[in-house]
Amino acid sequence: MNFLAHLHLASLADSSLLGNLMADFVRGNVQAQWPAPVVAGIALHRRLDALTDSLPEVREARQLFRAETRRVAPVTLDVIWDHFLARHWDHIHPAQSLRDFTDAAERAIVPHLAGAPAGFIELNAVMWRERWFEHYADPARLARVLNGMAQRRPRLAALRDSYQDFTDNYAQLEPLFFRFYPRLMADARARRL
């Protein structure tokens, strides 16, 4: 799961949006650094990452990647799942538009950035302003996202090429998303994550 899915599932589970979004940016003893609801949000994010990576549908999706990009498939798939979520948002979350959800998430997170890791603060400065989540619905936008990630982390340079795996296998990837994401939503609502 990437940023949008983590926030969406956190909202369904009534979990800290700040903790769920910030989890990849914090290390060490988070209990000493953050209030209990944020710590619980960080823990939910980490459980979701482990759970999602072990899902049979996600393992099946990894096999759609070529040998030269399979190593970065988990990172690419996280972005792909956000694409399908954004693209089908009105069907998945009909009670609130993606724009309204994004605005509400921004209002819940940004006032609490004091003391957050610098990289997370920088992410927030760009992500909300550029309306990332709404742009995720455009398949072509994923090329830009993956290229940007590859540029920031040279050891993940294969992310640039993984966009081709996404476009070549779009018709197989989309139904895989719809096989597992509704289960995650139900588990989030039932507080089983």
Burial 94-105 (b: 16+ CB within 10 A, else e): eeeebeebbeeb
Residue 39 pLDDT exceeds 80:
yes
Task: Mark residue 82 as left, alpha or beta (left: phi above 0; alpha: psi -120 to 50; beta: remaining).
Answer: alpha
| Residue 43 binned pLDDT confidence (cut-offs 50, 70, 90) | very high
Tokens of 188: 């989030």
pLDDT of residue 144: 93
Residue 73 pLDDT exceeds 80:
yes
Name the residue type at position 123.
L
44-59 pLDDT, tens digit each: 999 999 999 999 999 9
Residue 62's nearest CA partner among 54, 70, 50, 52 is 70
Domain locations in the chain? Answer: 3-189
34: which DSSP letter?
A: S
Residue 1 pLDDT exceeds 80:
no
Mean pLDDT of 4-12: 98
Q: Answer yes or no: are the C-beta atoms of 49 and 1 closer than 8 Å.
A: yes
95-133 pLDDT, tens digit each: 999 999 999 999 999 999 999 999 999 999 999 999 999
Residue 20's nearest CA partner among 5, 42, 37 is 42
Sign of the CA dihedral 15, 19, 20, 23?
Answer: negative
pLDDT of residue 154: 87
58-71 pLDDT, tens digit each: 999 999 999 999 99
pLDDT of residue 83: 98
191: which DSSP letter?
A: T
Mean pLDDT of 78-88: 97
18-30 pLDDT, tens digit each: 999 999 999 988 9
Residue 12 pLDDT exceeds 90:
yes
- Average per-residue pLDDT in the chain? 96
135-187 pLDDT, tens digit each: 999 999 999 999 999 998 889 999 999 999 999 999 999 999 999 999 999 99
